[in-house]
Amino acid sequence: MRPRFRIVLLLTLCLALLSSGCALLEKQKLPFQRQDEVTIWANSIAGLPGVEQGRRAEIVWKNPSSSQALKLRALSIAASRPGRQGYAARKELSMLYAKAAPEQRAAWETMYWTDLDGMDSDTLKKLAASVSAEQEKSFPWNLVMLKAARRGLVADSSAVLSRLSSPLLYAAPAMLGLGEAPAVTPSSTISVALIIPQTGSASALGRQVAAGAQAAVDDLRLSGKTVDLRIIDTGLTGWQQAVQSLPPQFVMVGGPLIPGRYKAVKSAASDRALFSFTASLPSGDEGVSAWRFFASPEDQIKALLDAASSLGINSFGVFSPGDSYSKRMSGLFMQEASARGYSVTSGSYTAGKMNAWPKEAGAFVKTQVGAQRGSIPVATADFQAIFLPDSWKNMDMLVSSLHYSGAQNRLMMGTSIWEQSLGPTSRNNAATFALTIFPGVWNDRLSGPGVTAFRNAMAAKNERTDDWSALGFDFVRLAAALNLQPGWTSSQLNRALSSDPRVDWAGAPMHWDGSGKASRQLFIFQPAATGHIPADMQKLRDRLASGDLTVSEPDPAPAAPQRPVSFDALVDSLSK
């Protein structure tokens, strides 16, 4: 071959290869992608010490001007780094997780699991050592323990791994290296929604209900049941649309706490089974378009009359200030007592004028005083018990006035609004209220399976137990027992409810008759030196027989939950 021809051939071959290579490079070239602010920020702190990462993450998390996506990313990092911010961040993370849908929970688990890789072994070991047995059951502490156990940083890693390696415990088990959870058919998933305030008016109560509901979700998950809980905040604009947009499998909904919003909730939840957290329902609604899931005034009065009857009492006086609440409760009391064949006498005192109460109390109980100087006043009225439908703040003066007028041997009876005021911070003269009872919905002294499960589930979330969180807990447990599906009818629901679905109640049990009308089996309490305690019916019976009101010692562990003082006024407004 001639040299010139060989050179031309080589040049042609080189050009062909170059052209082919360029085409290949063109095909493999990746498009330029602009990094989002979350990635840019996370990369900016990647090389810093863990403590500094935690400090910077806290700043971003708590910065009002940060975007929501950036705040959430910073929260996860703050919760997985050493420093003072860690505890608060983990608690906030737990709250957000509790309110999230399953797919959102999976995202939280994936993010936090990855972020825990940035926690050094010494810090992770120390953190794992501080996690309680109850905390271990809930996010994010469960991932802390799982990660620490896999690194061999806990005392008994094999036992921890055994407890925490079930795919059923997580929303994203595959991302945690636990394989896929068993397939769950739509009918085995319990779908339930709460339509309650989380912001604005009554939000303090709403958040307690939500905490109890989420505790029930966590407890049921441990037993292999999947619950999809949605919480819709009635304090936000557009909540009605959110209710209407719920998927059809969300048949059972609960709310609204605030009676004035019942009509709006009923309208938004049309064609769903609304369990109303209100003391009463409009005529024609109960058992047809809504079901009561709250104690009614009638429940309170029946509980009081049942208790009094067990003490051998069948005659009553009703002493009230005459406001709208006391008139309503007095009317219901007299109606129920008369229906049982009991005798009832009514009287009134002047609201707000305590200096007039001793005289008015004396007239009501028909006080007589002997002619001899120093004679003890004696109440001659023929009733054995006195119903006092008024707020607790008036009771010390009112009951003392009745005692002064000679009625110290009568049983005094109040309403469930007392339960809100008789918390651990209340201080009472136990002798004054030695013969005083009232109905309530939450008995912390019980030790049944429902109360125990509730107490443990709330402890795992570092939440307090009270009547409102018990309400949320019991509602989700009832939803799980019923597991309503699309195509339900009110008659089918009424039959299911009247058959007493298996629910281990945390609070006072609920029952429904064949028409869907509810009743609540309330507990009977009595004021103690501190807070309140379950009524000792035998001791009350002995005191009524002997007239001895001596109280041996104050009770050191009241049943009432601790709550802010502001709850009292709020609950009074909802109850009255």
pLDDT tens-place string over residues 4-41: 545 544 445 444 444 444 444 343 443 434 457 888 99
The average pLDDT across 358-370 equals: 93
pLDDT at position 131 over 60: yes
Between 37 and 373, the higher pLDDT residue: 37
Is 53 domain-assigned? yes
Is 46 domain-assigned? yes
Instruction: Please check whether residues 437 and 569 belong to one and the same domain.
Output: yes
The string of pLDDT tens digits covering residues 333-345 is 999 999 999 999 9
Is 193 domain-assigned? no
Q: Which of 452, 457, 478, 568 minimizes the C-alpha distance to 294?
A: 478
Burial class (CB in 10 A: 0-12, 13-18, 19+), 551: middle
Going along 455-571, which residue ranges are E strands?
510-512, 518-520, 523-527, 532-534
pLDDT at 9: 46
For 154, 258, 305, the CA distances from 309, given in Å and listed in that order, are 58, 34, 6
Instruction: Please check whether residues 313 and 167 belong to one and the same domain.
Output: no
End-of-domain residue from the set 152, 176, 200: 176
| β-strands 411-413, 367-368 pairing | unpaired
Instruction: Please check whether residues 409 and 555 belong to one and the same domain.
Output: yes
DSSP for 384-425, please give it.
SEEE--S-GGGHHHHHHHHIIIIITTSEEE--TTHHHH-STT
- Two tokens, residue 231: 């919480």
The average pLDDT across 190-200 equals: 95
Instruction: Please check whether residues 543 and 410 belong to one and the same domain.
Output: yes
Is 228 domain-assigned? no
SS (H, E, C) 5-16: HHHHHHHHHHHH
Measured in whole angstroms, the distance separating CA 226 from the mean position of its chain's CA atoms is 19
pLDDT at 558: 40
Within 269-323, residue ranges assigned H as helices are 297-310
Burial class (CB in 10 A: 0-12, 13-18, 19+), 175: middle
| pLDDT level of residue 378 (50, 70, 90 thresholds) | very high
What percent of the chain clears pLDDT 90, i.e. is strictly above it? 64
Residues pairing with 233 in the sheet: 196
Instruction: Please check whether residues 422 and 553 belong to one and the same domain.
Output: yes
Is 435 domain-assigned? yes
Q: How far apart are CA 494 and CA 408, in angstroms?
A: 46
pLDDT at position 80 over 70: yes
pLDDT at 440: 95
pLDDT at position 180 over 90: no
pLDDT at 35: 58
Query: By residue range, what is the domain housing residue 57?
Result: 37-176
Is 267 domain-assigned? no
- Two tokens, residue 139: 């996010």
Single pTM value for the model: 0.67
Q: How far apart are CA 544 and CA 538, in angstroms?
A: 10
pLDDT at position 307 over 90: yes
| pLDDT level of residue 176 (50, 70, 90 thresholds) | confident
CB-CB contact of 120 with 48 (8 Å):
no
The average pLDDT across 64-82 equals: 91
CB-CB contact of 432 with 396 (8 Å):
yes
pLDDT at position 298 over 60: yes
End-of-domain residue from the set 176, 206, 232: 176
pLDDT at 104: 86
Instruction: Provide, for the chain, the percentages of residues in helix, strand and coil under a 3-state DSSP scheme, each rounded to the nearest 5.
Output: 50, 10, 40
The average pLDDT across 62-73 equals: 91
Instruction: Please check whether residues 172 and 303 belong to one and the same domain.
Output: no
Crossing angle of helices 121-130 and 141-150, in 10° steps, is: 130
Between 395 and 100, the higher pLDDT residue: 395
End-of-domain residue from the set 161, 176, 191: 176
Question: What single letter denotes the amino acid at residue 565?
Answer: V
pLDDT at 374: 61
The average pLDDT across 74-97 equals: 91
Going along 177-219, which residue ranges are E strands?
189-196
Neighbours of 350 (CB within 10 A): 13
Q: Which of 38, 94, 36 minimizes the C-alpha distance to 71?
A: 38
Instruction: Please check whether residues 430 and 570 belong to one and the same domain.
Output: yes
DSSP-based three-state secondary structure for 318: strand
Total count of domains within the chain: 2
CB-CB contact of 476 with 213 (8 Å):
yes
Is 201 domain-assigned? no
pLDDT at 575: 54
Instruction: Please check whether residues 161 and 304 belong to one and the same domain.
Output: no
Neighbours of 353 (CB within 10 A): 10
| pLDDT level of residue 52 (50, 70, 90 thresholds) | very high
- Two tokens, residue 19: 């052209």
Between 546 and 367, the higher pLDDT residue: 367
pLDDT at position 201 over 80: yes
Is 22 domain-assigned? no
How long a stretch of residues is the chain? 576
The string of pLDDT tens digits covering residues 218-261 is 999 988 899 999 999 999 999 999 999 999 999 999 999 999 99
The string of pLDDT tens digits covering residues 261-291 is 999 999 999 999 999 999 999 999 999 999 9
Return the CATH number at 415. 3.40.50.2300
Q: Which of 435, 336, 454, 455 minimizes the C-alpha distance to 395?
A: 435
The string of pLDDT tens digits covering residues 492-510 is 999 999 988 989 999 999 9
Mean pLDDT of the chain: 86
